[in-house]
Amino acid sequence: MTASRVPADTAKLSERPDRVCARCGDPIGDGRLFILSAVPCVELADRYGSVTEPYCPDCVAGIGMLSFSVGTRGHTSTRTD
């Protein structure tokens, strides 16, 4: 998993006038927008698609993402031996 402060495709979401949180559905005000992106690892790419969604700060906290890291984290193996 990697974390980035500026995902590549955020321009479309951040410029939309009807920005609403993907979790609670509330409108998101200027300066309060979190855009979370998830990209599956190569082994799971055929089963899962990439997603980028806008979230409000309250929902980001609610799903447990209280702190962010810019560094790259290791991948967990998807294989069972």
pLDDT in tens, 65-75: 766 545 555 55
In this structure, what token pair is assigned to residue 32?
A: 């309060």
pTM surpassing 0.85? no
- Count Cα atoms within 13 angstroms, Cβ side, for 21: 20
Question: What's the pLDDT tens digit per position in 32-63?
Answer: 888 888 899 999 999 999 998 999 999 988 88
pLDDT at 1: 45
> For residue 9, is pLDDT > 50?
yes
Residue ranges in the chain assigned as alpha helix (H): 11-14, 57-62
Other beta carbons less than 10 A from residue 25's beta carbon: 9
Q: How many helices (H) and strands (E) would you count in the chain?
A: 2, 2
